[in-house]
Amino acid sequence: METFRLALAQINTTVGAFEENRARIVAACHRAAEAGAELVLFPELALCGYPPEDLVLKPHFLRTAAGELELLAGEIPASVSVVVGVPAAGTCLPRNAAAVLSGGSVAALYAKRALPNYGVFDEQRVFEAGSRALCLELGGVRIGLHICEDSWRPDSREVRELAGMSLDLLLNLSASPFHRGKFPQRMEVIGATARALGAPVAYCNLVGGQDELVFDGGSFVTGRDGAVIAQARRFEEELLVVDLPVRGGERGAAAEGVDWVVLSPEKGRASDLLPQAAVPEPMSELEEIYRALCLGVKDYTEKNRFESVLVAISGGIDSALVAALAVDALGAERVHGISLPTRFSSEGTRSDAEALAKNLGIEMPMVSVQKLYEDALSCVGPLWAGQAVDVTEENLQARLRGLLVMALSNKFNRLVLATGNKSELATGYCTLYGDMCGGYALIKDVPKTVVFALCRWINSHAGRERIPVSTIERPPSAELREDQKDSDSLPPYDLLDAILEAYVERDMSRDEIVALGHDPRVVTRVVRLVDGNEYKRRQAAPGVKITPKAFGRDRRMPITHHFVPPWIPL
């Protein structure tokens, strides 16, 4: 049976870096041509990077994209055709488009038709939907085009219009961000679309970090039955080359409303470089979260042109995890620690901080801020004479630490990594302008129970104690007053995280959460903490999204509102 050789170029792009992105695309095209590929598929909006957000509303951004696309068309090898994501001018708004390049020119443009407007997606705000389907014919091979959401519902108009076309292949350009549990969903949905079409689907996903989002790659090709026959690795760039059988023989003409483009590139040379198509072993949930966090902090640091990062290491588990992830992502030579104890810092946490720095191979000077704290108290204390000691004094310590880490950031151009986790940010168990200081909050979407699990996984994966076991086993504490423990202010983390998942990620009501078996008083308290601390989260640094609903891009709540459900006591 005749076969068609296809390459999926899973690349890591940067928003707005047109020349750099174009160079990556050209390099991948040359590698594909050397492997004998006839067509090369790239991710959604690969030329400009994804998501470009309001940049696409700037006319000069679109003009730059159009100019770069013309340059790209002239730089690809003559033996391959290319399908690449680009922003293009529309009627009222720009379009999220797929450009078909062949013979040194732009042969066709297909505009994304199903624009997602949920979760992290806001495409209906900045893009105009396309209205027509597009099919290509390349050397007798019939190929349909979709962009991401176009293939997401097998019963949609976008799929139904192509179902009678006797396609040999459907191409899908995608930029689907990671969250835990999403990868199997992609395979299931695309597999269903392949079965609805009766044709293989090549799904090329973006890889890399962009602000809060991490794109995990994992591009794949299904057979007509929806089963995955080849898959690229996740969380890294790869060129996946696959041979697919084609139908051949007589087939009907294009249906009404379907544009038809015939491509005639120069004939390339055959190649024996094609590796055996394979599907990598699936990752555990903890490994994929770890890989997402590492990729997110690496790309955020490097794409924002920081040489190194700074982590305030307390001896607690959160800062230990952040430091370990930073070392694995960037290398120990680019990670700097600082320990800033006061008299409330225990000997155990001080020694654990030193052990962690030694285990990770990073520098970590220890600078006591006790005198600075006492001096600050002597300054402001007279202004609240007669007032009882409360959380104000605790927050003052945290804010002095924030002051110092930001000073070091300024002096050495180091990106400060904030160390708060999702459980803390959800309940407000964090200090504005204190431990929330930083340019990137790496684990802000990681629940505390997952923090513990990741630390154990890191040690197990390394086969040694990188994060001190005593750090993992010690009851968590902010150490801002004598004998303080997190459990003094919050429910146990396994209980807290279960309630937070139900309320934040699943949007369940208090009564629905109570019906799961939770104490009504605890649920009410947690819900009030979440709702009352939106103002803090609004001021938090960005961080990697790893759950289905992260604070910020996903969950958008007003700070000021008077909606109080009747079951919440005032």
**Active site amino acids:** 44, 112, 148
CB 313 within 8 A of CB 319: yes
- Give me the phi and psi of 501, to 5 degrees please: -60, -45
User: Which 3 state secondary structure label does DSSP give 228?
Assistant: strand
Which of 407, 438, 451 lies closest to 286 in space, CA to CA? Answer: 451
User: Which 3 state secondary structure label does DSSP give 219?
Assistant: coil
- Residue 239 makes CB contacts below 8 A (sequence gap 6+) with 7, 8, 9, 10, 28, 31, 32, 35
Residue 122, burial from CB neighbour count under 10 angstroms (0-12, 13-18, 19+): middle
* Cβ neighbour number for residue 30 with a 10 Å cutoff: 14
Cis peptide leading into residue 51 (ω within 30°): yes
Distance, in Å, from the CA atom of 298 to the CA atom of 446, rounded to the nearest integer, reads: 17
Structure-token match 């962690």, residue found: 356
CA distances to 124, 141, 218, 223, 381 from 169, rounded to whole Å, are 28, 8, 19, 9, 73
Which two structure tokens, joined as six digits, stand for 216?
Answer: 């995990």
Which two structure tokens, joined as six digits, stand for 391?
Answer: 């959380």
**Helices 18-34 and 59-75 meet at what angle, rounded to 10?**
20
